[in-house]
Structure 1
Amino acid sequence: MSGFELRELDDGSVELLEFVPKVIATFVDRAHAERYHGILIEFEARGVPHQVEQDGQEKSAINSWAEPTDLEWEQAFQALERGDGLKKIAAALNVNPFKLQGKFGAWMKKRKPPASLEDMEECRLCGTNFRASSGGSDLCARCSRG
C-alpha cells in the first residue's frame, strides 16, 4: 500500500519519495469513517495545502481561514442583518464563525446613532444623564435597582 514518486528540484536534481500509509483515525462504524474519508478526498481534490511541522510530519492546513476584503465583510454583515445564518455566511467567506460574530457585533455597535442630549433625561436621585425607557421612570438603571 505504499507508493513512490519522483520530484524534480529547481537545481535539476531529482528526489525519490516514498509514501507510507499512516493511521490517522479509528472509527466505530463504517458510515462515520466514509464521511470523513469523503471530506479528506474533497480537500485533496481542491488542493488544500499541507504544512510540514518541525518533526517532519505533514499537517493539513484545513483550518486556514481567509481574510475577506472590506466589501466582503460589509456584504456579510448586511446578510446577517437580513437574518441569514451565521454559519452559512462564515462558510461562504471561509472565516471562523466566532470572528464573524465579533466583527458583526462591532459593526452593529458602530452603526448605532449616538444618544443626543434631547433624548437624555437626568436621574432624580444621582443626577446622571440616561436614555429613558418606555416605562417612563425618572430613575437611571443603577438607581432603579435600589
Structure 2
Amino acid sequence: MSLSEGRTSAPALTRSVEAFLAEPGLATLTTFRPDGSPHVVVVRFTWDPESGLARVMTVASSRKARNLVANPGSRAALCQMEGFQWVTLEGTAVASDDPRRVTEGARRYAKRYHQPPPNPPGRVVLEIAVDRVMSLNC
C-alpha cells in the first residue's frame, strides 16, 4: 500500500531512527503461520519513509510469503538491531508478484545493500505498511 492507496501519512520517525534504518543492516522478520504461531527469520530489508513501506525480497514458496498469502491483511514486524540499539517496524503486510512492485523492491534493495538481490524464479516482494514504530537508544 502506498500513501496514494488510502494512507494519509507515514509514521513520523526521529532523525536518529531514520539514520539507523539507512544503515545496511539485517533484521528479524516475524510473520504468523496459519496455526497462529510466529515464524521469525533474518532478512535484509528496505525502508521507504515517504510511503511508509518496509520491503523484503523473497520467493513465493518461502514460509514468510506463504504466511502472508494464507492470512491476507495479517501483521508483520521487522526488528533491526545493532548492539544495544534497535528499531521495530510493524504493520499490515502483503506478498506481491506485481512486476512493478518487485522491481521497485529490488531497486531499493540494490541501493541500500550496494548489490542487487538474488533473482530466483518466483521472486516476490513483501510490503509492510508500517503503522507502529518502536525503538531503543536510537
Superposed pair shares fold, TM > 0.5:
no
Normalization by structure 2: what TM-score?
A: 0.22
Higher strand share: 2
Structure with greater Cα Rg: 1
Higher helix share: 1
Normalization by structure 1: what TM-score?
A: 0.21
Bigger relative contact order (CA 8 A; separation at least 6): 2
